[in-house]
Amino acid sequence: MTVSHAAGSWFRRFSTGTEDGMTLLCFPHAGGAASTYFPMSKLLAPRIGVYAVQYPGRQDRRSEPPLDELTQLADRITEALTELAPDRPLALFGHSMGALLAYEVARRLETTERLRPIRLFVSGRRAPGHAATRPDLHDQDDATILAELRRLSGTDEAVLADDDWSGCCCRPCAATTRPSSATWGPDPGKAYCPARYRCSRGPRTPM
**Catalytic sites, residue numbers:** 96
Residues 55-86 as b/e (b if ≥16 CB within 10 A, e otherwise) read bbbbeebeeeebbeebbebbebbbebbeebeb
Single out the residue of 9, 10, 53 nearest to residue 35, CA to CA. 53
Closest-CA residue to 34 (of 51, 57, 15): 51
Name residue 93's beta-bridge partners. 26, 121
